[in-house]
Amino acid sequence: MPEPILSIRDLVVEFATEDGVVHAVDGVTYDVFPGETLGIVGESGSGKSVSQLAILGLIPQPPGRILRGEAEFEGKDLLKMSKKDLRRLRGGQVAMVFQDPMTSLNPVLKIGHQIAEAIQAHQDDVGDKAAKARTIALLELVGVPNPDRRYDQYPHEFSGGMRQRAMIAMAIANDPKLLIADEPTTALDVTIQAQILETLKTAQEESHAATILITHDLGLIAELADRVVVMYAGKVVELTDVQTLFAAPRHPYTVGLMDSLPRLTVDEEWLRPIPGQPPSLISRPPGCAFHPRCFLSQGRTRCRTEEPPLRVIGPDGHLSACHFAEELVGQSSKLIDEPVAGASS
Amino acid sequence: MVTYIVRRFLYSIPVLFAASVLIFFSVTVAGDPLATLKQNPLASKQTIHNIEKRNHLNDPITTQYAYWLKEAVTNKFGSPLLQPGTKIWDDLKRVIPHTLQLVVLAEVLALLVGISIGVYSAIRQYSIFDYAATTFSFLGFAMPVFWLALMLQILFTNIFIKWHVRIFYTSGLSSQNPGGGIHFWIDRLQHLAIPAMTLMLLSIAQYSRFMRASMLEVVNSDYVRTARAKGLPERKVTLKHALRNALIPVVTVSALNFGALIGGAVITESIFQLDGMGPYFLGALFNQDAYVVMAWLMVTATAVVAFNLIADVLYGYIDPRIRYD
């Protein structure tokens, strides 16, 4: 296997709030390899975005706090880097696309200026004219029509989809080696989502960047990801390649997620959601955080008392954090019956 | 942008018209403008009759208003009721620049200082500086203007008595022989410094609180995070991406402040014996000269409307979403 471009080891991020300490990210470990797309799935509040924001120094501190961990990007630990070096990296070698294009662009500055500014922040020798030319080329690449005219427009003159295209153009402006897309399609209409996916693919091809795709949409994962990290309550609960994940999930939470998707091929009257609520990150359930909602646990003591470690349970380093992962082999789940089909939401 | 300004300008004409109606009728219904004069045994019937006839005081109120409006528009408010030989505009022409000098000096400095304090407080929230600025601004809010004015007068008077150094003058607008050109303006600044400081303190307190609050709202917004995520230096993130968005509420407050202060920082101007709009208004009240009072109210209303217009134009400049064309 090649060297990972980003390797996160035992990352712990907390937030001090009035109600207590929120353990947003609790000992997360995974690698991202050059050129691949790593999907991170989980419910809201499972720590998927926070882990990325934290390694780039984008969480407000305080109340946020990185307790321990390493995040090596090309051999350098991002968490130990000086603020100045980290700033040079952000938007340069590591770029982000955010969830909500409606609020992620500055309303009082021109779109073109906001992109050109990203270019000039990292390439001192690029003059204003060159930056403008490059920006117009980028806007064209991500599918913004009439880029010459659009360059001088403000965000409120762009539709949601167009704004997200502009965000993507901004992200790939400096040919990043790692592109972090944080729920890039969540705030958009379904018809626009497909277009943005295409744009993201184009952007990936153009920049050859490794991509981290943060989402709660399993359809997006099936479409774009090579490997998948499933997170629950601030921890990684399953990590494997995308085919294995859909064909043979080995964590009851993953199975639950897939079961809760509607299927287009069968006439279903009811969806099957995972019972219960995601746990409070201030007081996690003891043992396995998922046990109160788990269909495998069924009151077994071990689930309540012993925290399951992330362990290899299948070929190609398939990891799962479940004491009873093996019991899922042959378990009936609508997606195990019929792998991958119906996985788009 | 030009059509936007023109449109806003046209809007202000009906506003000023409505203001003139309100001013005229509320001042006129307050009572007989000549009541005091009529009680004066030295005032002859003939004098009173002349005044009534000249200003159409015995006509119906709407007719009076029409005459007043005509006089105001064509003859710059005409003459005071009680001193027909003089012109209201001559007095206004003298006092308005004095007040403008004081207000512009005080408010421009207050904006610069207040915005800086507010921004710094917000980016260093809960630091010692932030707490100190908060305490200072509450003091500024709470302090009576007249008390501060008197304290500053005492302080600089004592400095003069003790060391014979004339840093600032404590009353009036000019020395007896200020000289010409640059000397005149230095002398004027020495006179305006303490009253300006007095006005500034309250405005700084206000602006720094507004700026801090709106900055705090903006620094945690998504687009500021985007600006950081693209690797801009922190200075640029704050001064370009955050500040411009955070300025909008402060523009509103300061425009209202400017407008209101043109009407005269009555207390401050009186304490420092500045020949400005405030003392002029007080004088008109004491003389019970309704026409001077109305002229003063009209000028003040115009100032408020004008500064609102300026605020609207500034909005359009700061926030492109507000431009209508």
Query: DSSP readout, A101-155?
Result: HHHHS-TTS-HHHHHHHHHHHH-TT--HHHHHHHHHHHHHHTT-SSHHHHTT--G
Query: CB A103 to CB B227 under 8 A?
Result: no
What is the per-residue pLDDT for A343?
A: 39
pLDDT at position A328 is 77
pLDDT band at A332 (very low <50, low <70, confident <90, very high): very low
Contact A105 B318 (CB under 8 A): no
**Contact between A104 and B241 using a beta-carbon 8 Å cutoff:** no
Among chain B residues, the shortest Cα distance to A172 is held by B230
- Tell me how many residue pairs between chain A and chain B have CB atoms under 8 A apart: 75
pLDDT band at B208 (very low <50, low <70, confident <90, very high): very high
Q: Which member of A108, A118, A156 has the closest CB to residue B230?
A: A118
The strand pairing partners of A37, in sequence order, are: A211
Find the helix or strand (DSSP H, E) in which A325 lies. none
C-beta atoms of A98 and B227 within 8 A: no
Mean pLDDT value of segment A306-334:
79
Q: State the residue range of the domain holding B116.
A: 93-322
Report pLDDT digits (tens) over A157-207.
888 888 888 988 888 888 888 989 888 887 777 888 888 888 888 888 877
Model confidence over B188-201: pLDDT tens digits? 888 898 999 999 99
Strand pairing report for A235-241 and A94-97: unpaired
Mutate: best of B230, B251, B317, B318, partner A, most A CBs <10 A: B230
CA–CA separation, B55 and A273 (whole Å): 84
Amino acid at B41: P
Mean pLDDT of A12-37: 87
Q: Is the peptide bond before B279 cis (omega within 30 degrees of 0)?
A: no
Cβ-based neighbour number of residue A31 at 10 Å: 18
Q: Read off the tokens for B48.
A: 């009173």
| Residues 214-273 (B) with a CB less than 8 A from some CB of A | 220-223, 225-234, 236, 240-241, 244-245
Task: Please give, rounded to a whole number of angstroms, the shortest distance from the CA of B307 to a CA of chain A.
Answer: 23
Residue A333: the pLDDT is 52
* Position B179 pLDDT exceeds 80: no
**Into how many domains does chain B fold?**
1
**B14 inside domain:** no
Alpha helices (H) along chain A: 48-55, 83-89, 101-104, 111-122, 128-141, 147-150, 160-171, 190-207, 218-224, 242-247, 252-259, 301-305, 334-337
User: Which domains occur in chain A, in start order?
Assistant: 6-229 (3.40.50.300), 248-337 (no CATH)
Per-residue pLDDT averaged across B28-51, rounded? 82
Nearest CA in chain A to B233: A87
Q: Give the model's confidence band at B264: pLDDT under 50 very low, under 70 low, under 90 confident, else very high.
A: low
Contact yes or no for B289/B88 (Cβ under 8 A): no
Which are the contacts of B5, defined by CB distance < 8 A and separation ≥ 6?
Answer: B313
A273-301 confidence digits (pLDDT tens): 888 888 888 888 888 888 888 888 777 88
> In whole angstroms, how far apart are CA B42 and each of A165, B48, B82, B131?
85, 11, 14, 63
Write the secondary structure of A271-292 as one string of H (helix), E (strand) and C (coil): CCCCCCCCCCCCCCCCCCCCHH
**DSSP three-state, residue B287:** helix
pLDDT at A340: 40
Is residue B134 one of the residues assigned to a domain? Answer: yes
**For residue A106, which residues of chain B lie inside 8 Å, CB to CB?**
223, 226-227, 241, 245
Whether B29 maps to a domain, the answer reads: no
Q: Could you tell me the CATH number of the domain that includes residue B126?
A: 1.10.3720.10
What ipTM, to 2 d.p.? 0.83
CA A281 – CA B238 distance, rounded (Å): 32
Instruction: Specify if B226 maps to a domain.
Output: yes
pLDDT at A234: 86
The pLDDT confidence band at residue B15, using thresholds 50, 70 and 90, is very high
**Are residues B223 and A103, on separate chains, in Cβ contact within 8 Å?**
yes
Give the bridge partners for A11, in sequence order: A28
Residue with tokens 């001064």: B239
Q: How many CA atoms lie within 13 A of A249 on its CB side?
A: 27
The H or E element that residue A35 is part of is none
Q: Of B296 and A43, which is predicted with more confidence?
A: B296
pLDDT band at A337 (very low <50, low <70, confident <90, very high): very low
CA A215 to chain centre: 5
Residues 95-154 of B with CB under 8 A from A: none
Do the domain assignments include residue B74? no
Output the CA–CA distances (angstroms, integers) from residue A24 to A180, A239, A305, B39, B72, in the order listed: 19, 19, 21, 83, 70
Give the integer Cα–Cα distance in Å for A136 and A153: 12
B50-100 pLDDT, tens digit per residue, is 888 888 888 888 898 998 898 888 888 888 887 778 888 888 889 999 999
Q: Is the model more confident about A60 or about B142?
A: B142
pLDDT classification of A335: cutoffs 50, 70, 90: very low
Please report, rounded to a whole number, the percentage of residues in chain B having pLDDT higher than 70.
99
Phi/psi at A30 (nearest 5 deg)?
-165, 165
Q: Between chains, do B231 and A88 touch, taking CB under 8 Å as contact?
A: yes
Nearest to B22 by CA among B78, B56, B65: B65
Residue B179, helix vs strand vs coil: coil
CA A12 to chain centre: 17
Nearest to A90 among B222, B230, B319 (CB): B230
Q: Which residue of B has its CA nearest to A91?
A: B230
Partners of B235 on chain A (C-beta within 8 Å) are none
Residue A115's closest CA among A131, A102, A128?
A131
The model's confidence at residue A46, banded by pLDDT at 50, 70 and 90, is confident
How close B121 comes to chain A (CA, Å)? Answer: 16
The pLDDT of A258-271, averaged and rounded, is: 76
Alpha-carbon torsion angle B148, B153, B158, B159, nearest 10: 90
CB burial readout B219-243, b (16+ within 10 A) else e: bebbbbbbbbbbbbeeeebbebbbb
Confidence of residue A342 (pLDDT cuts 50, 70, 90): very low
Nearest CA to B81 out of B110, B43, B136 is that of B43
In a domain, B193, yes or no: yes
Residue B267 lies in a domain: yes
Q: Which of B233, B241, B318 sits opposite A106 (nearest CB)?
A: B241
- Cβ separation A121–B232 shorter than 8 A: yes
Q: How far away is chain A from the Cα of B211, in angstroms, using its nearest Cα?
A: 18
Asked if residue B272 is part of any domain, the answer here is yes
Q: Which of B12-21, B31-40, B63-72, B300-309 has the lowest mean pLDDT?
A: B31-40
- The partner residues of A71 in beta bridges, in order of sequence, read A8
**Helix, strand and coil percent figures for chain B, each rounded to 5:** 75, 0, 25
Question: What residues of B are in contact with residue A113 (Cβ under 8 Å)?
Answer: none
Q: What residues of chain A lie within 8 A of the CB of B245, using their CB?
A: 106-108
pLDDT of residue B35: 79
Spell out which chain A residues touch chain B, with contact meaning CB-CB distance below 8 angstroms.
56, 58, 60, 87-92, 95-96, 98, 100, 103-109, 117-118, 121-122, 154, 156, 167, 170, 173
| pLDDT at res. B313 | 84
Element holding B99 (H helix, E strand): helix B88-123
List pLDDT tens digits, range B120-153. 999 888 889 999 999 999 998 888 888 999 999 8
The tally of CA atoms less than 13 A away on the side-chain side of residue A148 is 0
pTM of this structure: 0.79
Residue A190: the pLDDT is: 80
* Cα–Cα–Cα angle for A126, A127, A129, rounded to 5 degrees: 120
